[in-house]
Chain A
């Protein structure tokens, strides 16, 4: 009945003078209003980003699991033990793509990784929001701050309670924060499913730091640890090659290093006399400048192994200082095989095992150099 009226309106595209609204039993009387198709069409832009309902996501997950089993059967593998890596390999095999952009190639991943996490509808049928902080715009963030502050006040109350019984000195409980770091802004945004500004993030971290400084903060340890991430020991990330032995039985080890555009390889032999050969030439002739020779000797001097090792290195590219830096890194890496783990950690803290990431900055258009601007002329 309503559809018929709409059709009449569409055909006429104007206000029709003779409305004939036959009231159906229980239906409202319809009133004709002046409309055009432009108003009746759904405004795609104003509706915001596409919203995925929970039922839709659940559907997608079921389809994904079914598809995973089908894929496993197709590839002849066991459907029970088919991991994500196997899926990736299977898709790459079945749909080979030569596209350069990896993100444009066909993928089959769990729907939670594909569809962005969205908040459920935050208001009920009466259009009143569920959360009391909904109208702040950032309800999860402000409720989190509220919660953390509540915990801070609880800890202070507990401390006052202990202080009244003069038991505060013995019952100090601190949280061990070494070996972990606070969440970064992106991780916090992911946790709250909300966009944060830098100011908000710093406020949150400051409040957490304040909570952690209280003497009895151990009460809320598991809550605070939710906001910390483990930091791995840097030394574990380094790979130390074992020593190799040549025909005479002399131990040697190789290392590679780079700095700016120079690339160097160094081979360090044991039972040497401190001779260094660079590209077939003695280092005194290859590096006439004292500073470069000091840099070559730096790792040996740091470990007090100046006259013990022999070094043969090859280097190409770059200028004299960057070649010296590349050889320094290569020799430091090669020396790691000869020394104890503690000494490797000392070398790392002295900055010998880090590849210098500084490269020449490009010149920008509208400026004379990388940073230098053209002379400013008033007119």
Chain B
């Protein structure tokens, strides 16, 4: 009941022009923003602007014209147009950050990526000619794959039957995207805390199962229905 209503409101919101969208019934503004409702999100990717105006389709032309008429928000401080800025890495850094210490969070992430690269290059040099092609040295690709592996396949949802509420396992499609980096960071933190308690250096969480096992295994384990949640996998591998 709630889902079709929300879907209808979302469709209505997309149809209405931005100044009117603020007044949709049922969608009251809870969080107000310093920007007005007509401000659009900035597009930083340079490739979008390289396309010439004549080469665009009708839809793109109307979108471009609409964009020229609306004000645009300012870009955030951790976003640049360079090839080195990655939105997933930025999000992960923010999640790791504690007490606003972005400097420390960013240095941790940079050192992690460096460590991954070093390990992979070591493996690359020690491997034979045939295996060298399959070894991935780009730490960003490994990081993205690790996050994708952390996404849950199955989630639980409440089903009421016969007066009792059962928690039934349901396939989760896109709901795990926000959960993945959180799970990864939490598990990394746990492994790091264990290592710290064992009087090892704090940087040893980079040697934790997070980076070794999850990043480099192939996704065929997802076929195993007996091991649905990645948390249980991590706890098994930690022990």
Contact = CB atoms under 8 A, between A and B. Distances in A.
Interface string A214-237: 000000000000000001111100
Contacts of A301: 80-82
B19 interface: yes
Among B23, B103, B106, residue most surrounded by chain A Cβ atoms (within 10 Å): B23
Interface in B16-42: 16-20, 23-25, 34-35, 42
Interface stretch (B70-78, B180-188, B194-202): B70-78
B81 A298 contact: yes
B15 interface: yes
A291 B23 contact: no
Interface stretch (B60-68, B118-126, B147-155, B162-170): B60-68
A302 B85 CA distance: 13
Interface residues of B, number: 38
B173 interface: no
Contacts of B73: 351, 354
A206 interface: yes
B70 to A, nearest CB: 7
A297 B18 CA distance: 33
Given A291-B78, A298-B81, A357-B34, A348 B106 contact: no
A301 B80 CA distance: 9
A346 B75 CA distance: 13
B227 to A, nearest CB: 39
Nearest to A212: B15
A297 B69 CA distance: 28
A289 interface: yes
A234 B70 contact: yes
A349 B65 contact: no
B77 A209 contact: no
Interface in B66-101: 66-75, 77-78, 80-82, 85
B69 A234 contact: yes
B81 A202 contact: no
A94 B188 CA distance: 76
Nearest to B90: A291
Contact of B25 (A202, A298, A350, A359): A202
Among B73, B80, B106, residue most surrounded by chain A Cβ atoms (within 10 Å): B80
B208 to A, nearest CB: 25
B49 to A, nearest CB: 4
Interface string A79-95: 00000000000000000
A33 interface: no
